[in-house]
């Protein structure tokens, strides 16, 4: 038997520890580092490409660089004799911008909708979520195609329609997380002090559902990239003569055997970006799950 000194205080204060936020925890997972690396390369190309292109090749995205579908220069030419590398380097900017805007729109709108539905409950919850279910029953791409067919291929429409179709999906996640948080006494405490409902959502609920929302953010970004590239490929997204990866695949696919670079480069970039953002989303998911586990134990 060991004898120990008994300090007078029953609950000794634990030493202050640095709170590793969700981002810190997520970074500890290997897929976060790999994902950031993969996506980072593509993002860098997309951001710097428009300036780098002409410097490296000496051609702008629309200059005539040589005979069509020849392997002249670094990556050859496309069907209109434009330099493929220049167009590839410049082709990610619009895609990335639209994808980010559409994702942010979808997440903000969806989180708002989900939090209001989840927090208020009752008939408002039922009305919002049933309306949500109706929207969810249409495939995202079908709604996008419909809207573009009616109004025409515009950049803002692309962002709007993809953002809006993300919202119901995010709303479900946000509502679920809000319902789980709503039962906690700190929400009741805030209600007892008659804190305005908007503030309760913003300050009490939102910080506590940020984990699932971050996961959703990564996931929706991946989808946005895929959809915008798909729509551009179909000729309904970004319009020629703008250089764009999705569009490039369509323009160059007829010469896939003769001059594969025109298809290969954009395909690789889109794939890397999608896989990278997905890996990052995955690490957020793991970190968020770990966070809730810790909080419960």
Partner 1 sequence: MTSAEHLLDAEETPLQLALEVTGLAVRTAAGQPVLNQVSYAIAPGEVLALVGESGSGKTTAGLAVLGHFRRGLVPADGTVTIRPRGGDQVDVLALDAGARRKLRGSAVAYIPQDPALSLNPALRIGLQIAEVLETHGYPGSVEDRIAELLAEVGLPTDKAYRRRYPHQLSGGQQQRVGIAMAFACRPSVVVLDEPTTGLDVMTQALVLKTVRELTSEHRVAALYITHDLAVVAELADRVAVMYQGDVVETGPADRILHQPEHPYTRRLLDAVPDLAADVGAAPPPSAPVLAAHDIHVSYGQHKVLRGVNVAVTRGECLMLLGESGSGKTTLSQCIAGLTKEFTGTIALDGAELAVSTRQRTSDERRRIQYVFQSPFSSLNPRKTIAQSIEVPLVRLTSLSKAQRRERVAEMLDRVRLGRNLGNRLPDQLSGGERQRAAIARALVTTPDVLVCDEVTSALDVSVQATIVELLGELRRELGMAMLFVTHNIALAPEVADRIAVLRGGEIVEEGTADDVLSAPSHPYTRELLANTPRL
Q: Which residues contact partner 1 (rule: CB under 8 A)?
A: 1-4, 6, 10-14, 16-17, 19, 184-186, 188-195, 203-204, 207-208, 294-295
Task: Work out how close the CB of 198 gets to partner 1 at its nearest, in angstroms, rounded to a whole number.
Answer: 14
Beta carbon nearer to partner 1, 60 or 292: 292
**Cβ closest to partner 1, residue 161 vs residue 287:** 287
Q: Which two tokens stand for residue 191?
A: 């209600």
Phi first, then psi, for residue 211 (nearest 5°) are: -60, -65
Nearest one of 49, 106, 58 to 248, comparing CA atoms: 49
Structure tokens at 2: 């060991």
Q: Residue 118 or residue 262: which is nearer to partner 1 going by CB?
A: 118
Which regions of 91-237 does DSSP assign to beta strands (E)? none
**Alpha-carbon distance 114 to 237, whole Å?**
29
Closest approach of Cβ 124 to partner 1, in Å?
16
Report in angstroms how near the CB of residue 145 gets to partner 1 at its nearest: 41
Q: For partner 1, which is the closer residue by CB, 64 or 184?
A: 184
Per-residue b/e over 71-109, b at no fewer than 16 CB within 10 Å? Answer: eebebbbbeebbbbbbbbbbbbbbbbebbebbbbbbbeb
Work out how close the CB of 213 gets to partner 1 at its nearest, in angstroms, rounded to a whole number: 13
102 in Cβ contact with 166 (< 8 Å): yes
Instruction: Output the smallest distance, CB 6 to partner 1, in A.
Output: 5
Concatenate the DSSP letters of all residues of 29-98 into one string.
SHHHHHHHHHHHHHHHHHHHHHHHHHHHHS--SSS--SSTT---TTT-B-TTS-BHHHHHHHTTHHHHHH
Q: How far is the CB of 234 from partner 1 (least distance, A)?
A: 44
Q: Is 84 or 187 the residue whose CB approaches partner 1 more closely?
A: 187
**Of 130 and 293, which has the nearer Cβ to partner 1?**
293
Give the residue from 94, 97, 68 showing the smallest Cα distance to 81: 68
């Amino acid at each position: 038997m060991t004898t120990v000194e008994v300090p007078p205080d029953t609950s000794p204060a634990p030493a202050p520890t640095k709170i590793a936020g969700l981002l810190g925890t997520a970074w500890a997972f290997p897929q976060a580092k790999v994902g950031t690396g993969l996506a980072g390369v593509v993002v860098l190309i997309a951001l710097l490409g428009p300036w780098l292109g002409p410097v490296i090749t000496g051609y702008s995205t629309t200059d005539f660089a040589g005979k069509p579908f020849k392997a002249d220069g670094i990556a050859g030419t496309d069907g209109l004799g434009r330099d493929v590398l220049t167009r590839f380097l410049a082709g990610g900017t619009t895609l990335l911008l639209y994808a980010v805007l559409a994702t942010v729109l979808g997440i903000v709108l969806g989180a708002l909708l989900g939090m209001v539905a989840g927090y208020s409950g009752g008939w408002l919850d039922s009305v919002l979520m049933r309306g949500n279910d109706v929207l969810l029953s249409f495939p995202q791409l079908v709604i996008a195609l419909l809207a573009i067919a009616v109004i025409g291929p515009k950049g803002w429409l692309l962002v709007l329609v993809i953002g809006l179709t993300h919202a119901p999906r995010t709303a479900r996640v946000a509502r679920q997380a809000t319902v789980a948080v709503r039962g906690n006494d700190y929400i009741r405490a805030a209600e007892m002090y008659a804190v305005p409902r908007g503030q309760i959502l913003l300050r009490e609920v939102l910080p506590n559902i940020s984990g699932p929302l971050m996961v959703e953010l990564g996931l929706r970004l991946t989808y946005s990239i895929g959809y915008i590239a798909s729509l551009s490929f179909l000729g309904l997204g970004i319009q020629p003569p703008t250089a764009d990866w999705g569009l490039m695949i369509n323009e160059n696919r007829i010469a896939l055997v003769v001059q594969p670079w025109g298809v290969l480069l954009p395909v690789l970039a889109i794939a890397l970006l999608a896989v990278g953002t997905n890996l990052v989303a995955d690490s957020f998911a793991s970190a968020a799950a770990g966070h809730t586990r810790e909080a419960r134990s």
